[in-house]
Amino acid sequence: MSTSTREKPSIVGSGILVIGAIYCLVPVVWVFMASSKSPSDLFSTFTYAPGGSLFDNIAELTDYRDGLFWRWMLNTGLYAGVGAALSTLVSAMAGYAMAKYRFRGRTAIFNILLAGVLVPGVVLAVPQYLLFAKLGMTNTYWSVLLPSLISPYGIYLARIYVSAAVPDEVIEAARTDGARDARVFRSVVMPMMVPGLVTIFLFQFVAIWNNFLLPYVMLGDDRLFPVTVGLSSLLNQGAQQPALYSIVVTGALLSILPLLALFLLLQRFWQVDLAAGAVKS
Amino acid sequence: MLPAVVLYVFSIAVPIGYTAFLSLRTVKVQGLGLGPGSRTEVWAGLSNYGGTLSDADFLSSVLRVLGYGLVVIPVMLGLALLFALLLDSVRVRARRFARLVIFMPYAVPAVISSLLWGFLYLPAVSPFTYAADQVGVTLPQPMAPGLVLFAIANIAVWGGVGFNMIVLYTALRSIPSELYEAARIDGCNELQIAWRIKIPVILPSLIMTSVFGMITTLQVFAEPTVLRPLTNNISTSWSPLMMIYRDAFTRNDIYSASATSVVLAVATFLLSFGFLRLVQNRAFAQENR
């Protein structure tokens, strides 16, 4: 890119960006401040004034029903982490097959899959519940994990990535050396796909972590909740016992910290060109 | 390939089929509806659809969500485009910082951001109420009946603007810079370049982000559901999806809920079909068929 600096930096432009950044920081800074306040200060001191009770709040949250919150965090890690990892693998295999194999019905299958992107998880949650209820599988880890494994969008991205990043010649060379399909995929294709796979993983991770309706309808036992459903049920109870608000806010802070960290660490993978369908890394 | 097809059938195709089936059924109650065998499932034809489409709650939830979409999509995409163009312009400072911070809300799930904003909307906490009090102005409550739609829209904009900004910014970065040089030689200033070159070139991305915006708008659920405990002004049928949830799980009327789901899915599908046509031919140019 050309970095011509013939003109002076634009104050208006920079100003708009900074205002945008401040807007985005408003709730995040607030949650840092609010979770350091004692329950009695939460509604009585200035919103952005820090308090000295962060560790008390964390202890309070940890005590809440014998560490239920931390169990929610572990559940979230399980749903989003394991779900995203498996779904990335499934997407990679399907994307690779569709990009590099010629088989009957390839276009049809791909179109049906794409149509699946467009009826996204949220409308599906209720039908999925009805089906899982028939099978007696609601209220289990599986009921949240299984529907998360398939991601039409992930397959779509994987297919594009394979066709852009894995040349046919490499696959042929591996075949000539006597490698079989599974081995070609594992030892040749997968390593070449790593940057694309990281991106798919991140998208899936955020999508599962963000999917509120699915666990909300599937799970009745609050020990299986992911942290989002857990905190929203706590907020519900807070309407009767405002003392709970303090731990809800502290929980909100603790729940976004790992994701913010992951996000900052991996930010270079977030470059998305949806229209061209390409994922750049 | 096989695992994907199996999972697809199990998690997407079968539920859709099952819902379509249920949407055509209903429960027939015999006698007082007590005792086994007094409730039987029978064919209902299209009567559930008739029920859904003539249900005042459903119609008002659809209208509400359309209004909500008319607020969210232009504001969110307008801001995203503005920020993306500014990031792409060489004359702006603090770019890395701004890009990172504006994108950050994407990492916060809708439930958590609704929860945070929900507190910020409470008069006792709101920094805006505080600031207004200092100068003696009384602000309206953000969750008052007429404003609650904007309160929810703000949360969606906050959560979505950064992601869309990155999409548009990536599209802008792929424009070859010779185009700009040529325009500059012809005497265009930055604004004209943005208006005449950048926006037309990234139009496909803009259309796509709008379609995605519409799809997510139709399905708004988490934000109003999380805000409900904090206000009396969000009904259980605020959005179509909330109404489906209410019918299926509070009223135990899975047949109506199924019919409503199908209507919503068809609407989503029609909206996104345009998008499908739009991307399909562009995406696989590099694959030899």
| ipTM metric | 0.83
Task: Report chain B residues whose CB lies below 8 A from the CB of A17.
Answer: 83, 86-87, 92, 94-95, 98, 102
| Res B43 pLDDT > 50 | yes
pLDDT band at B288; cut points 50, 70, 90: very low
Let me know: does B102 contact B153? Beta carbons within 8 Å.
Answer: no
By mean pLDDT, which of A162-166, A231-235, B48-52, B241-245 is the weakest? B48-52
Please report, to the nearest 10 degrees, the dihedral formed by the alpha carbons of residues B55, B59, B62, B66 taken in order. 180
Asked if A116's CB is within 8 angstroms of B12's CB, the reply is yes
| Res B139 pLDDT > 80 | no
Nearest to B167 among A114, A252, A274 (CB): A274
Identify the pLDDT of residue B38.
Answer: 58
| Res B76 pLDDT > 90 | yes
| Res B37 pLDDT > 60 | no
**Spatial distance between the Cα atoms of B85 and B14, rounded to a whole number of angstroms:** 44
Q: What is the CA radius of gyration of chain A?
A: 23
CA distance A117 to chain B (A): 9
**Tokens for B280?**
């399909």
The residue with greater pLDDT, B191 or A6, is B191
Identify the pLDDT of residue B7.
Answer: 73
For residue B145, how many C-alpha atoms fall within 13 Å in the half-sphere facing its CB?
Answer: 1
Looking at A64-138, list the stretches that DSSP marks H as alpha helix, in order from N- to C-terminal side: 68-76, 83-100, 106-118, 121-134
Strand partners, B109: none
Strand partners, B26: B42
In degrees, to the nearest 5, what angle opens at C-alpha A133 toward C-alphas A129 and A139?
A: 80
**Spatial distance between the Cα atoms of B144 and B112, rounded to a whole number of angstroms:** 21
| Res B35 pLDDT > 70 | no
Let me know: does B27 contact B39? Beta carbons within 8 Å.
Answer: yes
Identify the pLDDT of residue A236.
Answer: 85
CA distance A257 to chain B (A): 9
pLDDT band at B33; cut points 50, 70, 90: low
**Tokens for A138?**
């609601």
Residue given tokens 């790593």 in the structure block: A194
Q: b/e map of A89-113 (b: 16 or more CB within 10 Å)?
A: bbbbbbbbbbbbeeeeeeeebbebb
Among candidates B227, B241, B226, which has minimal Cα distance to B61?
B241
By mean pLDDT, which of A209-213, B40-44, B197-201 is the weakest? B40-44
**Tokens for A87?**
């779904």
Q: Is B261 on the interface with A (CB under 8 A)?
A: yes
